[in-house]
Amino acid sequence: MKSDPPVIIVGGGPAGMVAGLLFARAGVPVTILEKHADFLRDFRGDTVHPSTLELFDEIGLLEELLKEPHAAIDTMTLHLLGQQYTIATMKHLPVAARFVAMMPQWDLLDFIAGQGRRYPTFDLRMSTEATGLIYDAGGRVSGVTLASGEVLPAWLVIAADGRRSVLRDAAELPLEDLGAPMDVLWFRVPVPAGMDMPEVALGTIDKGGMVVAIPRGDYWQCAQIIGKGGFAPIEAEGIEAFRQRMIEIAPGLAAGTDAIKSFGDVKLLSVALDRLTRWSRPGLLAIGDAAHAMSPVGGVGINLAVQDAVAAANILAARLAGGADPDPWLARVQARRWKPTVRMQALQRFAHRRIIEPMLRGEITRVPLAVHLLDRIPLLRRIPGRILGLGFGRQHVQSPLAKDFS
Ligand SMILES: Cc1cc2nc3c(=O)[nH]c(=O)nc-3n(C[C@H](O)[C@H](O)[C@H](O)COP(=O)(O)OP(=O)(O)OC[C@H]3O[C@@H](n4cnc5c(N)ncnc54)[C@H](O)[C@@H]3O)c2cc1C
């Protein structure tokens, strides 16, 4: 086996960490570069979907993962114009865990890092930011440059550096921007001490606004959907108007909104929906949001990123472990993941057009027939449950466990 230089994965998000774990598990030397010092950032969602949980089951880690604090949600409800509707169920899915585990992403990533460190070829470097690429004389990507000025040679570079990927730009991969009509305001609303957590739906659309409230024990992680570029007028109206708006849309949050003291407590997250039309060039492969930035709609981005990582490991890990040249196989990863990505992005665009844009214009004044039907016919709810829970083109782990570790 070739052992030097390693596969370099840039980005310790779900895509990069799962890819790193699977490559190391197959005995491939892998170095993951993460620019932050820890995984403790709020902005990437909490949803671990049934198909992702199934992958952990396939590598014998599901039971261990589910020891991490999480809430299990097997039924999705929507609070729309003052009424609660049940719109999706996952109870029927053919997998070991028939629910979405609501788990802060830093817990998931810490867990994967801990599992990765069991393998000697797994090297995770925090506080290490990649800034660009280096090429060999034939134009093949042969490593990365770091913010520290260092240069790291690589056998293969995997760009998993998220929706503002520096590496996909550096590699000059062609990008198709699909546009997104909204941004997200991301903030915490605590449950006052001594109070039971009031009932607040995961998603609420009312009074011309939309709020998502993810329960995290003693606070909700909230997302308010606003029009693209619409933060400046909200800021101009002041924090009190913002708090009142929140209470108007989701009254259950009222008791905790005083804790939002200023706009310093509210982060603006820019939403993007795009995809590379080519995910690789010799020596480099892009996966996850770096290959296709996902909108938060449906909370499916983490799942897609993880599925890309599994596809990459399925196609490349055994070959890399055998010392083969990865370049002839890179395009296969895109070929395997292209249709599932395009389909999911088409659904997100449909939701942007049919739900988000009318909501932002204040035009949702009655409950759509489809919501009534899903609420009344339990069998119908299985369809959105399956799409959200398993996605399209589900991957199973086929990358090997190196003989030394079995
Ligand atoms: C507001 C919002 C809410 C969302 N909520 C959800 C949700 O609830 N569920 C869901 O499934 N999806 C959600 N998504 C989508 C989801 O966040 C992404 O699809 C998913 O995180 C993609 O994973 P990734 O590993 O490809 O990239 P990321 O999670 O973005 O990870 C990329 C990593 O690379 C690191 N990095 C970046 N540049 C460099 C560099 N130059 N050098 C080194 N490291 C670098 C970053 O620090 C980061 O850790 C949401 C998106 C938004 C915008």
172: left (phi over 0), alpha (psi -120 to 50) or beta: left
Work out whether the CA dihedral 230, 232, 236, 240 comes out positive or negative: positive
Is 271 near ligand 1, meaning CB less than 6 Å away?
Answer: yes
Which residues are paired to 75 by β-bridges? 89
User: pTM, whole model, 2 decimals?
Assistant: 0.94
For the chain, which residues score pLDDT lower than 70? 1-3, 42-44, 406
Q: Which atom of ligand 1 is nearest to the CA of 44?
A: 17
What's the DSSP call for residue 380?
Answer: T
Which residues are paired to 183 by β-bridges? 226, 270
Amino acid 156: pLDDT: 98
Amino acid 199: pLDDT: 78
Is 391 near ligand 1, meaning CB less than 6 Å away?
Answer: no
What's the DSSP call for residue 145?
Answer: E
Give me the helix-helix angle, 301-321 and 50-58, nearest 10°: 30
Work out whether the CA dihedral 71, 225, 176, 131 comes out positive or negative: negative
For residue 209, the Cα-to-chain-centroid distance in whole angstroms is: 24
Domains of the chain as residue ranges with CATH: 7-72+97-177+272-359+377-405 (3.50.50.60), 182-269 (3.30.9.10)
Q: Would you mind telling me the total number of residues written for the chain in this entry?
A: 406
Give, for ligand 1, the residue of 51, 302, 308 to mutate: max count of ligand atoms closer than 8 Å to Cβ.
302
Amino acid 42: pLDDT: 58
Q: Which atom of ligand 1 is nearest to the CA of 302?
A: 11
Amino acid 43: pLDDT: 66
Ligand 1 midpoint to CA 141 (Å): 24
Q: Which atom of ligand 1 is nearest to the CA of 271?
A: 53
313-343 CB burial, b ≥16 within 10 A, e <16: bbbbbbebbeeeebbebbebbbebbbebbee
Which residues are paired to 124 by β-bridges? 32
CA distance 360 to 379: 31
Q: Are 290 and 36 in contact (CB under 8 A)?
A: no
Ligand 1 midpoint to CA 12 (Å): 9
Q: Are strands 203-206 and 71-73 parallel, antiparallel or unpaired?
A: unpaired
Type of residue at 261: K
